[in-house]
Structure 1
């Protein structure tokens, strides 16, 4: 995205500027810094709006270039336009894509590498945004590491916009100048009216999609067009801003800057993005750009200082490099930390500066795809280019190599030691022997009980320094670890169809499993333990908060379906009167991003308690036992934390605070029993990723079918002890 020179006549006593737009470079610096800190530190809360800032800048600059060309020549050269885009975009992106694929090959397991390879292909052809939208990737999700190329989605949105907008713009311009005989400047303004219509349509669609399909809305070029369009509209009506008085110009710039900072620090993720949540940062960015049209806004030092301008220069390289660095470095620093943060920043800056001076800047001026009158002229052009950049390649290359090598060495030397020594493992086992089982058990279990065997497997996994040969393997755990019940109706059970998620002899006493997707993964355990004596029926629906919680759903359709299943399940229980109702759902619903009230802490606990008691009151008269089963604590996803350079300790997780808060509530409910399963997953507050050679979970929370069956004997013992 090249900078735009403004050379307009002064108006209202304002001195025209012939300088490059330093404030726009400062905008880029602010945007990329916000995005990097958001991805690296998850702070500030609205750092992701840096992408929205980039969209407005891009729409303004590129449309301005096209409008100026048409005003000057009466035409737009698409050959020239797309040649400039290729020289500007492709060299560095190709370098980052190649480096990312190579690094993934060196670090990742086969399945993760294959995923990155497909991501790189989608990114190269500028369709990555649709790939992530189609696969249901949640930009804000915390359950598992994202693709190191996920950030390429915004580049795809921009290029898709530029596959359409220049052609549409030229068509309108030619139509009004040839048929209506209007001047080129007026034709440019008329094309602005068409863009205004596109902005309104895109924004309206973004409002609808942000509510009904937020994941698609976030990545879709159709819901992002309005942001690029706002910048384009500024360029098409730039003349309206030339005569702004100097004082008003400065005030507008500062108000816009303050608005962007407010967006970065106070906007939060969730439903409502990109519309209406993107309005504030987009409007603030537009204000800053408008303030600099025709003349420079004074005293906007936050954006125009030399550091900001240089970071703006290298912002494209910074944006492309930062995310692969953050993701790959996390393999060596799974717990993050200060060293991880500074090394990530240093390596990102080193790679970006190197690629800017050695690739981006030189190739932006290279005579690539340029038609020459003769071979001699072509050779002269290349010779001139090589001569102009000889010193950059020589000195800059050496400097970049030195800095990058130093940072990589620092990674190796400073990286935390993840493998426990033999002495540490022995000491740890002694602590386990003295303190007993997981936090749910007050004393050491009796030898050779099902519980002691489970805890022994977890303790051994925590003390293991090398990966065993897992079955299913890390590459296959997602597919092979899925419970077969998921294919037999349990993913979305038809409540009143006995063939849907029903197992065993229907004439036996009935046990109902009522839950979300964790209800589905509990089915192998319950079936293994009880099916010989009971008819096991699953009333399960993925992504449904089954007790009477008021939560934010992905869409209205998901909400309606969940509420319908809730009501039908209660009616089923009241009619069938099963011997027991086992209730299980993801405690992650307890966080403030899911509850409609956004309650947290004690307020969240009270809301959860009220919802659980409400459910109990509806079914307690229709069953002998209401049993709340503790779900697995959310942890690390094996496919993400296990790599060619990691150790088992890299995949050990802690028990989340929200899990413990909800556990405290459900263990004290009136009219229900609490079945504490924490010892299936954690010991002494630490949760490994496998036991023996069996992976415990297939992702960050759902147990594998194999492990679910292994704990069935312990489940039967606990069930038989329920009053």
Structure 2
């Protein structure tokens, strides 16, 4: 399929084309310094990932280069043929890009099965499909605002987010340019002027949106196609304008070096991961613009002498495959070694192995596809799409079948677990730590919930939508118990308040109380200005205000909430907590403060899945103070506090398994299965604190 633009080809006659070449440098199909720039960008990406755990800005260069090269190609097609052959364009891209990408995804599936922990399998499989279908950036954007997903280990395919944005650009940009060319021909506007106007408009609108959304929700903005489109549009503007730029070599030589220096320094100087992609991303993209404008200077002292160095250009030709391989290799290395960053030797191994795999992919996969489709009869769009499908379909089928198998296994285990946990003698959980323990010693049995299912082991409070996400401002109020109950208890706070819900609900039911609950991820019940990712957490502010309005309307007898915040930096009672409790005192509402549980230096489910439970432990002192700060603080008269740490982290240690039950599914949250066994202790604590 192609669209011919009437008047466009005629507007660029052979004579005009010759005249143009004599006065203006056209955008060539191949610029050697760009291969070198690709190499520098991919090395920065990999080195910063491997040894520094930081983002370099190199990916932003890739996005700009995509806009630059694709726009140049499309404009030449429009000027030469007066049309965009959409099917041919997309099929060529599919033939070039998908074989290598899907080979890496297939290898990642194998590596996931062999080396990565089963609690992460479902998420990885979901992301593999998203990566294969070029919407991984949106999957990561959704995960970035899922508070309960933030502590999950890194996905081995999360680097596909940038490739997804590029893939979406490949679909939209030819359509936009063809439409622009059609309009330009009808109104007799010069083609390049029309295209430059449209590209500049996209640049301005997207950059404005990017600045706004980055300040509002940076974690989401980082993966948002709309917030990244300006980087591609900047490349497009450069492609359309570079032919008109005339700079002397005396200017271009220092310009090239300035661009390289700014690009190399960007990741070291700027906290890219927390500031991008707003206006700060103009640093690496602006640096790339300087290098491209400098071009090939012919000077012995120009940056292009480095960028056109043959080994660097060869690495540039492997940059796509190298980028694809470096991240899954790094993720597997870090998991197998238990490290958070690579040491010098390990990092060199990761980079060396990635380079070898990139070379093999280039020779065997990309080279094989080129050989297969070299014959004229096999260079058609149908053949190209067929080749892409031959790589795509097996990855989608394998990941979908594996996901279905996991879901069925989880269903079976859930049924078995429901029967097992009803027998306290076999699965007592926290009861082994109470005076009412039903059996001693506890028999040695498989842990419940199974580590592979632990992330899904949440209470009905979550399942019923009573706990809202980071981005939500809605107050979802859930109620249990008789409407005419003598006592009403409200449960309010963040996720580390919500994970007590199974114990609180059981205690309330036993006492005949009415239980009202509303909680929000990452949002403390506090009068302090909430912050997240360096910016005001406005969604929390709005939600917290609604929570106070609801409590004023409900007038419960007491509010159960967290009384402290425990973190590796120390445990404290935030001033905003006390201020909020004073406001409740004015309303005649009592407060029951429950001490925050210690955080752990290990992820519960993943640790138990890969090591023996005895190796999965963390000292209480890692994040808790020696004594409860709330018990010693000057609190309003309506506040009573209590502490159940001894039933979750007994004798100063937070073990991953107690009474054959998995206690923690990540570093900060309890499993609902274990929380239910805390009901007797919770009931006793509530009765003592409230005096009911």
Corresponding position: 1:150 with 2:150: no
- Say whether residues 1:513 and 2:521 are aligned partners: no
Match of 2:233 among 219, 229, 234: 229
Q: How does 1:318-329 map to 2 (within 5 A)?
A: 318-329=322-333
Q: 1:516 to 1:215 in 2, by over 3 A?
A: same
- Of 627, 645, 651, the match for 2:593: 627
**Given that residues 253 and 287 in structure 1 are in contact (C-alpha distance below 8 angstroms), is that contact kept between their aligned partners in structure 2?**
yes
Deviations 1:329-368 (CA, angstroms, capped at 9, x unpaired): 33322344656x6335413432433332553587358546
Does the aligned pair in 1 maintain the 2:325–2:358 contact within 8 Å?
Answer: no
- Between the aligned partners of 1:326 and 1:586, the Cα distance in structure 2 is 37
Per-residue deviation at 1:123?
1.7
1:242-641 equivalences under 5 Å are: 243-268=246-271, 273-292=276-295, 298-300=301-303, 308-336=312-340, 342-343=345-346, 345-359=348-362, 363=366, 367=370, 370=373, 372=375, 450=434, 469-479=446-456, 481-487=457-463, 490-491=466-467, 500-503=478-481, 506-529=484-507, 531-533=509-511, 535=513, 537-543=515-521, 544-552=523-531, 558-568=539-549, 571=552, 575-576=555-556, 578=557, 580-584=558-562, 587=565, 609-620=574-585, 622-623=588-589, 626-633=592-599, 636-638=602-604, 640-641=606-607
Residue in structure 2 matched with residue 670 of structure 1 by the alignment: 634
Post-superposition Cα deviations, 1:235-254, rounded to whole Å, max 9, x if no partner, equal 1111123x212232133223
Deviation at 1:162, TM superposition (A): 1.1
Distance 2:475 2:88 in 1: 63
Hey, what's the Cα distance between the residues in 2 that align with 1:295 and 1:9?
Answer: 20
C-alpha distance after superposition, 1:537-587 (max 9, x if no partner): 3443212221122123599772353232342256358x44x2x54322894
Tell me how far apart the structure 2 counterparts of residues 654 and 89 of structure 1 sit (CA, whole Å).
49
* Cα-Cα RMSD: 4.6
- 2-structure distance, mates of 1:495, 1:506: 30
> Given that residues 598 and 624 in structure 2 are in contact (C-alpha distance below 8 angstroms), is that contact kept between their aligned partners in structure 1?
no
The Cα offsets for residues 667-706 of structure 1, whole Å up to 9 and x where unpaired, read as: 5421255534443444576533322321213444221222
After the TM superposition, which residues 163-174 of structure 1 pair with which residues of structure 2 at under 5 Å, given as runs? 163-173=171-181
Distance 2:32 2:286 in 1: 19
| TM-aligned CA distance change 1:249 to 1:469, over 3 Å | same
Say which of 35, 55, 64 aligns to 2:63.
Answer: 55
Question: SS at the partner of 1:239?
Answer: helix
Give unpaired runs (5+ residues) of structure 2: 1-19, 381-430
Number of aligned positions between the proteins = 610
Match 1:24 to one of 7, 29, 34: 34
**Local SS of the residue matching 1:148:** coil
TM-score, normalised relative to structure 1: 0.71
Measure the CA separation in 1 of the matches of 2:188 and 2:373: 33
**SS of residue paired to 2:675:** helix
- 1:103-125 CA distance string (max 9 Å, x none): 22334566643443332232222
Relative to structure 1, the CA distance from residue 358 to residue 107 in structure 2 (aligned partners, 3 Å threshold; closer, same or farther) is closer
Q: Cα offset for 1:289? A: 1.9
The corresponding residue for 1:394 is none
Residues 181 and 488 (structure 1), Cα distance of their counterparts in 2 relative to 1, 3 Å cut? closer
**SS, match of residue 491 in structure 2:** strand
| C-alpha distance 138-364 of structure 1, shift in aligned 2 (>3 A) | farther
Secondary structure, aligned partner of 1:537: strand
Separation in structure 2 between the aligned mates of residue 78 and residue 96 of structure 1, nearest angstrom: 27
Distance 2:105 2:76 in 1: 33
CA distance in structure 2 between the partners assigned to 1:346 and 1:498 by the alignment: 50
- What's 2:403 paired with? none
TM-score (ref. length: structure 2): 0.74
Structure-2 separation of matches of 1:666 and 1:260 = 49
CA distance in 2, matches of 1:290, 1:299: 12
Check the 8 A contact 1:698/1:704 in 2, yes or no: yes
Q: Distance in 2 between matches of 1:163 and 1:369?
A: 25
User: Alpha carbons of 1:30 and 1:331: their partners in 2 closer, same or farther (altered >3 Å)?
Assistant: same
Alignment CA distance shift 1:361-1:566 (3 Å): same
